[in-house]
Amino acid sequence: MRKSTYSSKSFRKILLPGLAAVVLVTVGYFAVLSTIPVNSTHPVFGAPSNHYIKVIDSKNGPIFVTTSTKGAKKNIEPTYKPIIHARVGELISLHIINEDHDKHNLNLDEFNVHTNDIGYFGTQSITFVADKAGQFYFHCTLHPEMTGSITIE
């Protein structure tokens, strides 16, 4: 029977750093992937403008309510068709919070923004680059009366 020329100690010296390198590369890969907006093919680094869109039940049915981190004053008044303002080239994060008992989603087709169907007190965040100017409408496919818009200048 032939003995191995490698001791278990030297084997660990080789295996553990190699395993650590594989883990670091994998984590780094997914970290970079998380910086790619839904309508882009490359990472975008920088702080996005955060817009919070809540779905609430009103006397006329479910509606979108918006608030944002842009500026000192926050808009938290319920509106049937909220308007979000942004500039061309801006990185935008939409944070959707469903406070209604029904499922809802949010779709902004021109920027490839599509959330899952979000259940009661569910949340989803999605980031995109405002790469074209105009007024664009978002909607809930489950409740077509729920709409809003994003104006990009």
CATH number at residue 67: 2.60.40.420
Q: What is the pLDDT of residue 136?
A: 97
Q: The domain containing residue 55 runs over which residues?
A: 49-152
Per the confidence metrics, is the pTM higher than 0.85?
Answer: no
Residue 128 pLDDT grade (very low, low, confident, very high; cuts 50, 70, 90) = very high
- Is 121 exposed, middle or buried (CB count within 10 Å of its CB: 0-12, 13-18, 19+)? exposed
Range 81-105 average pLDDT: 93
Residues 6+ apart with CB under 8 A from 63: 55, 56, 78, 79, 80, 146
Q: Say yes or no: 125 and 92 in one domain.
A: yes
Does 121 fall in a domain?
yes
Residue-level pLDDT at 20: 85
**Are 60 and 8 within one domain?**
no
